[in-house]
Amino acid sequence: MQHFTPSGLSLPSPSRRTLLRGIGGAAVLGAGVPLLSACGGSGTASDPKTVTLGSKASDPVPKKAFADIYAAYKKKSGITVDVNTKDSNTFQEQINSYLQGTPDDVFTWFAGYRMQFFAAKGLATPIDDVWKTIGGNFPEAMHKLSKGEDGKYYFVPLYTYPWAIFYRKSVFKEKGYEVPTKWDDFVALCKQMKKDGLVPIAFGDKDAWPALGTFDQINFRQNGYDFHVELMAGKASWTDAKVRKAFDTWAEILPYHQEGAVGRTWQDAAQTLAAKKAGMYLLGTFVAQQFTNKADLDDLDFFAFPEIDPAYGQDTVEAPTDGFMMSKSPKNKAEAVKLLQYLGTSDAEGIYLKSDPSVVHASTKADTSSYTPLQKKAYDMIAGAKSLTQFMDRDSRPDFTSTVMQPALQKFIRDPKGVDSLLASIERQKKTIFASG
Amino acid sequence: MTTETTKETPEAAAVPPSGAAPAKKVPQGHRRLLTRRDRLTLGLMAGLPTILHIALVWVTALASIALAFTTWDGIGFDSIQWVGLQNFKELFEQNPQFWPAVQHNVIWFVVLIVIPTPLGLFLAVQLDKNIRFSRVYQTAFFLPVVMSMAVIGFVWQLIYNPDTGLINSIIGANEPGKYIDWIGDPDLNLWAILVAASWRHAGYMMILYLAGLKGVDPSLREASALDGASEWQTFKNVIFPTLRPTNTVVLVVTIIEALRAFDLVFVFNKGAEGTELLSILVTNNIIGESSRIGYGSAIAVVLLLISLVVIIPYLVATFRKERRA
């Protein structure tokens, strides 16, 4: 343990002093959380020809797709986009301190509550001037998604993807199954599949978020979009009879879900669909990433979650949307605005989709001629939706969904009988979380 | 290391006056023994670590104790609000994961003490006999200790994966009806993880005990052999009592392992039902986009209090012993 290195003695005094000052500063800041902000932000001085951009796109496919957009923009405008890419999980975890420190001018983020939260905290710049130019490119639902609680725009959507029930065309054809649009047909299909020796619904909730998606679908089909939004915003009560009914509906199909879901990742669950051991799978279109074989991928199809209450039909589509925001005090605001205007065009979206075909354009002006049949269907589904939801952890407080809802739904999946005490516990915890900050 | 630096230096600096030679060269006496440069160096060597220690250990610890009585989302200091004991009340009365987490930390400790520790001692005793290939065995058992907990988590997931894992594939438990969900079933998953943790801990204990055994005076063994003691008698009455200091270290290390248990579980299933741990609850509440720093700090304070309950008696006992010596 004893390493007496002489190097410590030969430190030049100025650096010693700055070091001390730095430590003093850190001590004053206390909690240590603000220290993290040092990780974010690139130290480049304001250069009129450069816009800095913080990106969470660290996976190779999206990373390249984004880089292509910025390269095209440089060609077009002569402005360099200086990208600062971080691992996507790290980016999400540190977003708080990142935005409070010295963030890049523009950063990648999600639509919905997650965007509104930072807008309301004053950590983003309203971009109404950007929307004056790009507004015509987007459908009404996207306008709604891009506004903060104060009615100003804060977000430029780039791409989106729907959640739906996926199945293999060949399996349905071989067994003579029909795509169900009504709840009773769906339950009957589950029964039939079980009889035929299939796992009716593939399911993997090891990462705790896939179950949130199932709840979303059942809740807005059963209780409607407005109630779903109220519930997510912490206004409606989790002990409401409507919520209880949604859980009862879920319990009805739970026996047809794949056994042992809490120990399985969504990737493994997708493999059971790919292997034709499971009949259906409720997930986002990214499930296609698990179909590495071209023939299997061509065999993949999906349908919208069936209608439960005819009053709401199938009018709501869960379609998480990713895009860009502007940080609170960008160094190069004029160019950042221009960049966002470009990112809101169908050209920019088209470049992205060329490298990442698992998603669809957020814009309605986009060229859809190169879409795969799956993409076309996804696009039509979103375009035809009356309301779009984002996904529970984007539509509600992330601290509530991650610390309360994720464990609660895992518990429900295992033990659907204990739903009453579970809902009471959710409601109690929700009250304290939504009461704070 | 830092505390040692501060302890050692004054002694090192005080060595020269005891010799005869410097007295001649430095007639001014003791006052001038330390030049300005020396004093600056000493000041820095003692000061820098002190400041670092205070800033990174004490200030942060005290800050999180203070934050435990607030709500704070981590955005701007003006959003900190005092809520008194509200966080603790919520934690004890409403959080469905809190009491299981406390319980699991305790189970973690008990299991580590009861299973891998005796196993490590057993292995150490066997290896200490200088059997053939002893180095090979030693390496094999110690290898898990060298690996990071995260890697161990990944390796054991391959074994426990309910669909494609080694165990279920061999015993055919990945079919409907006979399904065993090692990772998701709350009655199983903690024990599954503890097997992985014990696998590593046994190697760790083995090395500690091996070091202890190497320090046992060989003449003790000879003496007991001459007295005609059997191997078990020698171990029980002669060797084991001399391992007392090692046992203390083992106990402390195991308590620390139980309290800081985190990485393995986090990789395994992120502390889902059945494997909740205090450290994971702290992390889940503090790290994230909109964090509950006050609430997370309250959990951290509970963890700190539990640590103190364990550490204070140990320190008291150690100091008492030192004073007696």
- Quote the ipTM score: 0.78
Nearest Cα residue to A350 out of A360, A340, A341: A360
Rounded-to-integer distance, Cα B217 and Cα B241, Å: 12
Please state, as a whole number, how many other Cβ atoms lie within 10 Å of the Cβ of residue B251.
15
B71 with A437: Cβ contact below 8 A: yes
Within 8 A of B44 by CB-CB distance, chain A residues are 8-9, 11, 16
Q: Side chain identity at B88, as an amino acid letter?
A: F
* DSSP output for B179-226: ---TTT-TTTHHHHHHHHHHHHHHHHHHHHHHHHHHTS-HHHHHHHHH
* CB of B312 less than 8 A from some CB of A: no
Q: Could you tell me if A308 and A97 are in contact, meaning their C-beta atoms sit under 8 angstroms apart?
A: no
B interface test, pick of A196, A256, A402 with most B CB neighbours within 10 Å: A402
Could you tell me the mean pLDDT of each successive run of 10 residues in chain A, 437 residues long?
Answer: 32 36 38 40 63 91 92 93 91 88 94 89 93 90 89 94 96 96 97 95 94 97 95 94 97 95 92 95 92 91 96 94 94 93 92 87 84 91 89 90 93 93 95 80
Please give the Cα distance from B265 to A54 (Å, whole number).
Answer: 31
Helix (H) or strand (E) holding A99: helix A88-100
C-alpha distance from A220 to closest chain B C-alpha (Å): 25
Distance (Å) from the C-alpha of residue A1 to the closest C-alpha of chain B?
Answer: 6
Whole-angstrom CA distances from A178 to A175, A278, A370 are: 9, 16, 28
For residue B72, give the DSSP letter.
Answer: -
Beta strands in chain B (DSSP E): 70-71, 81-82
Which of A37, A96, A391 to mutate against chain B (most B CBs within 10 Å)? Answer: A96
Predicted confidence at residue A31, as pLDDT, reads 38
Please tell me what DSSP assigns to residue A405: I
Q: Which residue has the tokens 């199954």?
A: A177
List C-alpha distances in Å: A267 to A206, A223, A321, B182, B260: 10, 30, 21, 18, 30
> What is the pLDDT tens value at each position of chain B, 325 positions in all?
344 444 444 444 444 444 444 444 545 555 667 888 988 999 999 999 999 999 999 999 999 999 999 988 888 888 888 999 999 999 999 899 999 999 999 999 999 999 999 999 999 998 888 788 888 988 898 998 998 888 999 999 999 998 889 999 999 888 777 889 999 899 999 999 999 999 999 999 999 999 999 888 889 888 988 888 888 898 888 889 989 889 988 998 999 899 989 999 999 888 888 999 999 999 989 887 778 899 999 999 999 998 888 888 888 888 887 777 6
Report pLDDT digits (tens) over B181-239: 999 899 999 999 999 999 999 999 999 999 999 888 889 888 988 888 888 898 888 88
pLDDT value, residue A139: 85
Model-wide pTM > 0.90: no
Tell which of A201, A432, A433, A434 to mutate to test the B interface (max B CBs under 10 Å): A432
Give the pLDDT of residue A83. Answer: 94
Q: Quick one: closest CA in A to B92, which residue? A: A429
CA nearest B183 in A: which residue? A263
Task: Report the candidate in B238, B169, B249, B246 with the shortest Cα–Cα distance to residue B212.
Answer: B246
